[in-house]
Structure 1
Amino acid sequence: MKVRQLFFDLDRTLWDFETNSRFALQYLYDDLKLGDSIEHFLHFHHTYIRINADLWNQYGNGKLTKEELRDNRFKKALAHHGIHDEVLAKQMSDGYIALSPHQTALFPGAVQMLETLKQQDYALHIITNGFKEVQHIKLERSGISHFFDTVLCSEEIGVTKPHREIFQEALRLTNCKTEHAIMIGDDFKADIIGALNAGWTAIHFDPEHKYKKERNVPRIRELSEIPELVNLLPIVAN
């Protein structure tokens, strides 16, 4: 049995959040006839992405509740386009929550990479800032839930990555030593800095090279690089 245990982020690391979200939003735009008021879907999509990212940042900093995030993102996106309709905003919010997690797009090579790691006897886990009721649906619907021994959602312990507490809780749940834990994720602050500050090893998944390479952290563009890389990483002695 391998000593190493691998902890994956879910959204934008394994599950293709942008593709899946865009599909759900396009369906709602068409179904609710938003085109009658907003000329192009891309206009609404860009507005929603910006507002949603800002609200998630506030949520991560403890300035917003889960319910406020979900209530406000569509209200604000519609209001930006001159639509002040709380019933429509609620329809969009409910529809998005119902549709989005059932989408199944994964990043290229995700399944093959997970299969290889399992064949190499690695224990695999998920640490996600996403909400529990939808993250488990994503894993099930996309056919990858069976790869993971543990799924830890930040709302279960009341703090989000990069807070140290969520990494400590992950170690407790998996009976893993700090020096044996590797975090793999796309968000440099939440996943990588969070893991490093907790004494873990980290691998940065940055397929579009959005981030400047920092702190001598291994960076990959393809998930297929992970199985070979984890076998080469030295075990850090704490």
Structure 2
Amino acid sequence: MKLDNIEHVFFDLDHTLWDFDKNSELAFREIFEKQKIAINLEEFLEVYKPINYKYWELYRNNSVSKKDLRFGRLKETFDSLKFQTQDATINLIADDYIEYLPNNNHLLDGSMELLNHLKGKYSLHIITNGFEEVQQRKMKSSGIHEFFETVTTSEEAGVKKPHPQIFEIAVKKSGAKIERSLMIGDNLEADIIGAHNFGLQVIHLNSHDQAVQNQYPQVQKLNELLNYL
């Protein structure tokens, strides 16, 4: 079903356009080689991913600081794997990760094709809970920065999605009308419920095919968005 009243499209970045999992794996591979961390990368990532997700949930709910997120997700992963390492080394890995991560430029399948299709038809924007210092670098290294008229981060807004204030700031920056705006993202709570409660139209990118039943339109792949736009 085509959405014929949309003028502004707001995207989440990580896991929606930017392939966080692939780029994160490449960053850890490079860091572990540099730091001579003798650990199986696949085993590390299997344990790290759910722990990282948990820490981002805590961060979004203001239960941990940015510093605690960066350190804690690594510390808990190494402890779970019974891999002995010093806190100082974990801090070095945490710092390197923020430095190396945005250097990788893989996008989710269909991202560039979708953006090229939407460019000129809609005003495009980013709303992200990611860290200010890395999100711009991610977009530039992957070649998508030029598509977006505005980028609103949680650090700029002072709150994180799903707080209505971040959507309010993003809409105000864009000059959009709420009723003519659409939010697309992978996180049901932060992106979809948050944006819907603020009054935006929404489409959930359920790329991991999670078993979720809700009233929101959803797609599994980015190219399916062309059915709506």
Q: TM-score by structure 2 length?
A: 0.92
From 11, 16, 27, the counterpart of 2:14: 11
* Residue identity opposite 1:87 in structure 2: A
From 23, 26, 35, the counterpart of 2:26: 23
Partner of 2:220: 221
Partner of 2:35: 32
Q: Distance in 1 between matches of 2:53 and 2:208?
A: 18
Q: Distance in 1 between matches of 2:31 and 2:142?
A: 21
Aligned residues: 224
How far did residue 29 of structure 1 move?
Answer: 2.4
3-state SS of paired residue (2:169): helix
* Residue identity opposite 1:116 in structure 2: H
Q: Distance in 2 between matches of 1:173 and 1:202?
A: 19
The answer (yes or no) to whether the contact 2:6–2:182 under 8 Å persists in 1 is no
Question: Is structure 2 residue 67 aligned with structure 1 residue 56?
Answer: no
Partner of 2:105: 104
3-state SS of paired residue (1:11): coil
Q: Distance in 2 between matches of 1:210 and 1:229?
A: 21
The answer (yes or no) to whether the contact 1:213–1:219 under 8 Å persists in 2 is no
Q: Distance in 1 between matches of 2:42 and 2:188?
A: 27
The answer (yes or no) to whether the contact 1:181–1:200 under 8 Å persists in 2 is yes
- For the aligned residue pairs, the C-alpha RMSD in angstroms reads 1.6
Question: Is structure 2 residue 118 aligned with structure 1 residue 117?
Answer: yes
How far did residue 138 of structure 1 move?
Answer: 0.4
* Residue identity opposite 1:63 in structure 2: S
Larger deviation: 185-194 or 219-228? 219-228
Q: Distance in 1 between matches of 2:126 and 2:18?
A: 12
How far did residue 3 of structure 1 move?
Answer: 5.3
How far did residue 169 of structure 1 move?
Answer: 1.1
The answer (yes or no) to whether the contact 1:78–1:89 under 8 Å persists in 2 is no
Question: CA 1:211/1:137 → structure 2, altered by over 3 Å: closer, same or farther?
Answer: farther
Segments of 5+ residues of structure 2 without an aligned counterpart are: none
Larger deviation: 180-189 or 43-52? 43-52
- Identity fraction in percent: 38
